Chain A
Amino acid sequence: DTGVSQNPRHKITKRGQNVTFRCDPISEHNRLYWYRQTLGQGPEFLTYFQNEAQLEKSRLLSDRFSAERPKGSFSTLEIQRTEQGDSAMYLCASSLGGRATAYEQYFGPGTRLTVT
């Protein structure tokens, strides 16, 4: 299967701990997105990478959140000092890139984070 993969699928952590999630995009996709989705809501944009460059970051992404995409391949999202409000599904998506058009995003299955 050559879709977007995310690991782990589920993570339970205690408040105050740090967690890291990994996303492996579709190999030929140069664009990568992170979203957060809570129950009853649509995906909420967190950050965007084009190749290895993080080009856009939501104001919702506090300084406890950091994302990287070394070498423009897989990406990691780290949350430091987790809070109960961080409990959500974290989605990764990837797409092709182009200036004159917009390509659809392909989503991974998500990582469900529960902070106790």
Chain B
Amino acid sequence: AQSVAQPEDQVNVAEGNPLTVKCTYSVSGNPYLFWYVQYPNRGLQFLLKYITGDNLVKGSYGFEAEFNKSQTSFHLKKPSALVSDSALYFCAVRGDTGGFKTIFGAGTRLFVKA
């Protein structure tokens, strides 16, 4: 069965410091991995994805994520956090075999303090 785990409900970081939001997954076949962000009173927005190729993928707003097959992880990172990065972040996965069902994690709230 497919699953996504975001082990931290909340991540707190000071502005200017690096941030990491963790995600691990379980899927049949090869994974397609995504990060989405949800700002207050706004819909989910796509940040970045891993399909194949380079394990480090870069996305919007300076975010990047590293795919680690052996650890089945896809952690979201940013070298220098901004207060405006404060939001709810969701990791999502779909396997390349079978259907089109995308599984989302429960979300991690990122709080960046000035």
Question: Any chain B CB within 8 A of the CB of A65?
Answer: no
Do A56 and B100 have beta carbons less than 8 Å apart?
Answer: yes
Do B43 and A58 have beta carbons less than 8 Å apart?
Answer: no
C-beta contact mask, B6-42 vs A, less than 8 Å → 1, else 0?
0000000000000000000000000010101000001
Do A102 and B99 have beta carbons less than 8 Å apart?
Answer: no
Question: Any chain B CB within 8 A of the CB of A21?
Answer: no
Name the interface residues of A82-116: CB closer than 8 Å to any CB of B. 91, 93, 101-102, 104-110
In the bound complex, CA of A40 to CA of B32 (Å): 24
Q: Which residues from chain A contact B96 at a C-beta distance below 8 Å? A: 102
Do B106 and A102 have beta carbons less than 8 Å apart?
Answer: no
Q: Which of B4, B34, B43, B100 contacts A110 (CB 8 A)?
A: B43
A42-B102 CB under 8 A given contacts A102-B32, A104-B49, A110-B43? no
Do B46 and A104 have beta carbons less than 8 Å apart?
Answer: yes
In the bound complex, CA of A50 to CA of B99 (Å): 12
Interface residues of B (CB under 8 A from A): 4, 32, 34, 36, 42-46, 49, 51, 90, 92, 94, 96, 99-107
A43-B104 CB under 8 A given contacts A55-B99, A56-B99? yes
A102 CB to nearest chain B CB (Å):
4
In the bound complex, CA of A43 to CA of B44 (Å): 10
Q: What would 13 more interface pairs be, CB under 8 Å, given A40-B106, A101-B32, A107-B36? A: A33-B102, A41-B106, A42-B4, A42-B90, A42-B92, A43-B90, A45-B103, A50-B100, A56-B99, A91-B44, A93-B44, A102-B49, A105-B34
Do B43 and A107 have beta carbons less than 8 Å apart?
Answer: yes
Do B100 and A41 have beta carbons less than 8 Å apart?
Answer: no
Do B101 and A41 have beta carbons less than 8 Å apart?
Answer: no
